[in-house]
Structure 1
Amino acid sequence: MKILHVCETIIGGTGSYLAELVPHQVTKYGIENVSLLVPDSHLQYIDPKILSSGIQIATFRRPRRLSGAFMLARRYLQVLKSVKPDIVHAHSSIAGAVVRVARGFTKARIIFCAHGWSMDMTGTPRTRKLAELVERGLAIFPDQIIVISSHELGRALKLGIPFSRLSLVPNGIDATAPAVEPAAWVDDRIKVLYAGRFDYQKGVDVLIEAVRGLDDKLSVRLVGDNAVSRNVLPEPLPDCIVKLGWLDRNGVTAQMKSCDVLVVPSRWEGFGLVAIEAMRLSKPVIVSAVGGLQEIVDHGKYGYLVEAENVAQLHERLRTLDKASLKEMGAIGYQRFASTYTADRMVRQIDAVYAGRSLPETDVA
């Protein structure tokens, strides 16, 4: 079986998703049978686990998102001819649109994973309605649509996409975290970590506003940078905040090992992979009550929930944190991760989707 992954971006959750999936596929199907198509400007962000697997990586130019879509389409048709895949697995909205519209150019089985529906993005009612119409129209082209949370499944069903065309495969990561030493972070204050893109969707600006006035209580580190949006961070930053820029997987893990709590203040989210990465390390999470994030913490049972974009509520949650409670919540969160969100379960389910087998209900987290 030959597999081609098509990505509009490799930064963030999609890259982490593929870092778990690709090495497994190389082992199962052979190094010559797994390929990846990504923007040339994102090569530096490809996870070392993918690079070390030795798979073929093709690239396309992506100077801007819209013009990049046309360049992706042209390059995709070229790669189809050379690779001749049996499976094309498209990741996220633009790559998904390109692959689905070009359905007639290949006999491969087409798999699409939105990694967060476009119609969940904050915007005008007209914009969201247009996104719904587009997703509904494109849904007829793939052989199967992988949804990564029950929230995504529900949204798809509301669009009228038949249940038989949907496969619920929640994200998963390796049960064992990278073996790295905790980052140096000596501070008596509560150590708060944000790790992700500095884009509007991710709500890092909400966190920044929420920590104002808490300099004596919190030490905050921001890992990441802009990927899609620009000028998201309000200035000046509170004194308690330090920006670290992009870090590789080991660097992020080292910061997580040293923090007291991870905050995921997203405005919308299909899943929220960074939350389970923290839970794997027994680190508690504070997440927005949106999309798959609220499922991960089971509506507050395994982590703290706050209303999206509610600066005052997040401020109050941060203000009242204490290290003893955080440690207790972290232990509870680890149990949630270990029972539900491991990569072994995820890759097994994706293998079944590729093969056209239905997923047993007992095998769905």
Structure 2
Amino acid sequence: MRPRVVHLLDDFALGGVTRGLAIFNSPEVQAVADCRVQDIAPDAMLAPRLDADVIIIHFPPNWQRLALLASLRRRNPHARIIHVEHSYTGAGEALKVRRTGRFRLMLKLAFRLVDHVVCVSRGQANWLQGVTGLAADRISAIHPYSDNPGLATMALPQPGDRLRIGAYGRFCEQKGFEDLIRAMQAGALPHCDLVIGGFGELEPIYRRLADGNPHIHFAGKISNVAGFLAGVDVVALPSRWEAYGQVANEAREAGRPILVAPVDGLPEQVGDAGLVVDFNNHAGLALAIAGLTPARLAAMGEAGRAATQGCGAARAAQWAALISRLVAGA
């Protein structure tokens, strides 16, 4: 009988996390495990008893949830527990955490209650291992994946007189889209059009910063990723913190070069597929954009597509191997 795996989620509105669960329905994982999802209340203190050999947690720890984790461990003594860290990062800690000692103590206590921690990027894993002292055999990095049909077969962009720079995601502090708009207004993106997709609480601020600039366009909510990417030449991720950056993965699959901020899991996606840039260094950004010749853009697009070919199956195989290893060692 295949091992029974239960995924615990406390918020199904987290689109990237819930879409990423589809990887556990892949042939690679289904060959070694029987998976199901169970919701748990965000304020729960008592964990359920689960008919599971492996329990995978998909919500971040905090002080209140330590009681839940302890209860999960106590009430499921024979299960192997994996925590997937989708949220916390080094750049996020630097910007949002005032008492780092207290925060890191919470992480250490939480991770004592699980058997293994999976990070969504190597950058995140290096930081987390450094601040918690986790042993190397108790932490892994597995990039997330969610399938978007049409990306791998999309025609490579053919830039015209104006380079079309796309950016999409939640309109929130983390994504840093205002830095991109300010760069555009400062002249750091000459001969470019900026196309921003998404929605959120900062939309009025973004529109005020755009100030009617005819070369800044708001595309609204993105329900068709392939459709959006087909309309741009390059994708920018000016994030202030970003555990992985699924947008960068999608852009590479679509053969779109990426421009990413030097934070957390973004730089490891670049390789020959784009550039790591400081979106607040307008002179440096303008110089980088000027160097994006048609030939270089084409080479970057091809490199990104090559790097992501078969990545979904490869990441599913990583999960299958980890589940099998933990069950065998139980």
TM-score of Structure 1 vs Structure 2, range by shorter chain: 0.7 to 0.9
Which one scores higher on RCO, CA 8 angstroms, separation ≥ 6?
2
Relative distance call for 1:202 and 1:336 in structure 2 (3 A) is: same
How far did residue 26 of structure 1 move?
8.4
Q: Does 1:86 align with 2:61?
A: no
The whole-number CA distance in structure 2 between the counterparts of 1:116 and 1:16 is: 15
User: Retained in 1: the 8 A contact 2:146–2:312?
Assistant: yes
User: Retained in 1: the 8 A contact 2:151–2:254?
Assistant: no
**RMSD between aligned residues:** 3.5
The corresponding residue for 1:150 is: 122
The corresponding residue for 1:134 is: 106
Relative distance call for 1:124 and 1:144 in structure 2 (3 A) is: closer
Relative distance call for 1:191 and 1:124 in structure 2 (3 A) is: closer
Identical counterparts, % of pairs: 22
Q: What is the TM-score when the length of structure 2 is the normalising length?
A: 0.79
Report the residue type matching 2:118 in the other structure.
I
Relative distance call for 1:315 and 1:226 in structure 2 (3 A) is: farther
The corresponding residue for 1:246 is: 221
Task: Give the paired residue count.
Answer: 313
The whole-number CA distance in structure 2 between the counterparts of 1:246 and 1:96 is: 34
Q: Does 1:260 align with 2:233?
A: yes
How far did residue 124 of structure 1 move?
6.2
Q: Give 2:277's match in structure 1, choosing from 272, 290, 306.
A: 306
The corresponding residue for 1:224 is: 198
The corresponding residue for 2:299 is: 328
Alignment of 1:61-210 (within 5 A): 69-70=42-43, 73=44, 77=47, 80-81=48-49, 84-94=51-61, 98=65, 100-103=69-72, 104-107=74-77, 108-121=79-92, 122-123=94-95, 126-159=98-131, 160-172=133-145, 174=147, 177=150, 188-210=161-183
Partner SS, residue 86 of structure 2: coil
Report the residue type matching 2:315 in the other structure.
M
User: Retained in 1: the 8 A contact 2:26–2:316?
Assistant: no
The whole-number CA distance in structure 1 between the counterparts of 2:59 and 2:280 is: 24
The corresponding residue for 2:37 is: 35
Report the residue type matching 1:35 in the other structure.
V
Which protein has the bigger helix share?
A: 1
Relative distance call for 1:267 and 1:315 in structure 2 (3 A) is: farther
The corresponding residue for 1:20 is: 23
Partner SS, residue 14 of structure 2: coil
How far did residue 324 of structure 1 move?
3.6
The whole-number CA distance in structure 2 between the counterparts of 1:296 and 1:204 is: 19
Report the residue type matching 1:307 in the other structure.
D
The corresponding residue for 1:52 is: none
The corresponding residue for 1:45 is: none
Q: What is the TM-score when the length of structure 1 is the normalising length?
A: 0.72
The whole-number CA distance in structure 2 between the counterparts of 1:7 and 1:154 is: 26
Which ranges of structure 1 fall in alignment gaps of 5 or more residues?
38-58, 61-68, 359-365
How far did residue 210 of structure 1 move?
1.3
User: Retained in 2: the 8 A contact 1:115–1:147?
Assistant: yes
The whole-number CA distance in structure 1 between the counterparts of 2:300 and 2:265 is: 19
The whole-number CA distance in structure 2 between the counterparts of 1:179 and 1:288 is: 24
Report the residue type matching 1:313 in the other structure.
G
The whole-number CA distance in structure 1 between the counterparts of 2:53 and 2:282 is: 48
The whole-number CA distance in structure 2 between the counterparts of 1:308 and 1:89 is: 36
